């Protein structure tokens, strides 16, 4: 990753990040076709049917940050230097680099457009292991899980604050555990109370985790029963356990907007981090726990927590978390919802009743991000602390043209030949013999950590 600041503290010129030199890229690049061919026999039972969205997202990722996908041509008006800047894939829930940029944009969006200056809490809703697979094989249920969390919070607040006070929350669906095991859970940034019609905020004294958890549990059961996926016997069995496996973790109140946004950013970026994956003996790859640095922390008797997987198992884990097309992962509820923010914008912008309603509709996240993403140079600077438009001579580079391989593959090809571009992907050790069918399942990772 190109993260260098000059000694003056100003951003340094951006250096290409070369994702193709990482094991993360290389495993996919060298073994994705093999994974796809083996999917039905080896992975379908545990991971579900092949999804077309996997081909699409991985295909785009292969062209992210590498010149093959296209580039912007930059030229310095002073020294005449020319540079190419590779385009990015902008995929959701997969590409670590684009996920980080997306998280930066999201943070700007919620700070500017959504969050109100009241106490909020970070909350996390989790499910028993026994129920998690239903959300893997019926992914359309994931947004319902979000709704269960929201309704549990809403019902709780209804009983503890004024009837006309409306709560607000940003809820995000996450499907990955610490080592990318399947662990659907909901992260929420929740206003600790409700907003009255006059705009005042009414605080709720505390949020009782047990009550919220019980409400959430009842709602999840009712959805699975309604869909005919489970029977009443299973509900009785789980509720008879001392620890049902349902949880509603309620964090302390947070006043500082930056702090709550930082927490939120961790829940909206891509599930996997490229820097946490290294090549292991075997040949396999090793994925490290959050907060550890494989390049720095690897010594010692035990080393930091990690899991070793063969190449295809790793790809299966990684691609499991690509969201289905059209599946909204972040939901804005109550006073934070689009509709409510739109009404409020109407009120604020139309003091006279003859103004047409809906005129000042609040922008949804997607539109806002699309518009803001156009300032890509600023975004790269924020993520990599390096300025893509800064020439080595200190002047500002100008964008001459943007050439996408999707529409102008011949032009891309010609330019790459002219600069003698060679695409060299990181070389992995040879692949181990395939696992015979019927051999024990590899450890599917039961670690019960939230992924941040």
Footprint of Zn ion on this chain (CB under 5 A)? 64, 76, 78-79, 81, 88-89, 95, 98, 391, 393, 395
The least CB distance from residue 274 to Zn ion, in Å, is 11
Q: Closest CB to Zn ion among 100 and 181?
A: 100
Q: Closest CB to Zn ion among 84 and 161?
A: 84
Q: Closest CB to Zn ion among 57 and 207?
A: 57
Q: Closest CB to Zn ion among 180 and 391?
A: 391
The least CB distance from residue 137 to Zn ion, in Å, is 28
Q: Closest CB to Zn ion among 88 and 307?
A: 88
The least CB distance from residue 379 to Zn ion, in Å, is 12
The least CB distance from residue 143 to Zn ion, in Å, is 24
The position carrying tokens 């890229």 is 25
The least CB distance from residue 90 to Zn ion, in Å, is 6
Q: Closest CB to Zn ion among 142 and 391?
A: 391
The least CB distance from residue 442 to Zn ion, in Å, is 28
């Amino acid at each position: 990753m190109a993260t260098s600041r000059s000694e003056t503290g100003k951003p340094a010129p951006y250096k290409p990040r070369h994702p193709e030199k990482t094991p993360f890229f290389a495993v996919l690049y060298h073994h994705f076709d093999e994974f796809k061919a083996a999917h039905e026999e080896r992975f379908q039972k545990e991971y579900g049917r092949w999804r077309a969205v996997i081909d699409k997202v991985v295909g785009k990722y292969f062209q992210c940050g590498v010149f093959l996908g296209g580039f912007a041509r930059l030229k310095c008006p002073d020294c005449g230097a020319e540079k190419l800047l590779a385009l990015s894939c902008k995929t959701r829930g997969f590409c670590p680099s684009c996920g980080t940029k997306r998280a930066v944009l999201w943070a700007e969006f919620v700070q500017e457009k959504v969050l109100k200056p009241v106490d909020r809490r970070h909350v996390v809703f989790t499910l028993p292991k026994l129920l998690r697979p239903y959300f893997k094989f019926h992914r359309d249920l994931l947004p319902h899980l979000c709704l269960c969390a929201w309704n549990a919070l809403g019902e709780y607040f209804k009983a503890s604050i004024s009837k006309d006070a409306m709560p607000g929350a940003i809820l995000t669906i996450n499907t990955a555990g610490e080592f990318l095991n399947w662990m659907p859970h909901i992260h929420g940034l929740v206003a600790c109370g409700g907003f009255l019609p006059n705009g005042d905020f009414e605080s709720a004294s505390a949020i009782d985790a047990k009550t919220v958890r019980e409400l959430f549990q009842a709602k999840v059961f009712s959805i699975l029963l309604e869909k005919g996926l489970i029977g009443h016997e299973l509900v009785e069995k789980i509720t008879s356990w001392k620890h049902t496996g349902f949880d509603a973790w309620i964090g302390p109140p947070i006043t500082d907007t930056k702090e709550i946004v930082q927490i939120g950013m961790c829940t909206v970026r891509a599930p996997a981090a490229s820097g946490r994956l290294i090549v292991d003996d075997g040949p396999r790859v090793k994925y490290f726990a959050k907060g550890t640095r494989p390049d720095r922390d690897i010594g010692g008797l035990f080393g930091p927590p990690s899991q070793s997987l063969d190449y295809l198992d790793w790809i299966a884990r990684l691609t499991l978390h690509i969201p289905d097309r059209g599946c909204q992962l972040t939901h804005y509820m109550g006073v934070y919802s689009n509709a409510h923010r739109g009404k409020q914008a109407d009120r604020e912008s139309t003091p006279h009743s003859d103004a047409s309603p809906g005129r000042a509709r609040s922008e949804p996240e997607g539109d806002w991000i699309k518009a803001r993403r156009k300032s890509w140079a600023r975004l790269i600077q924020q993520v990599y602390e390096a300025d893509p438009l800064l020439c080595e001579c200190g002047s500002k580079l100008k964008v001459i043209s943007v050439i996408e391989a999707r529409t102008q593959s011949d032009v891309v090809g010609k330019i790459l030949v002219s600069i003698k571009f060679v695409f060299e992907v990181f070389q992995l050790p040879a692949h181990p013999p395939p696992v015979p069918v019927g051999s024990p399942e590899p450890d599917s990772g039961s670690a019960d950590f939230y992924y941040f």
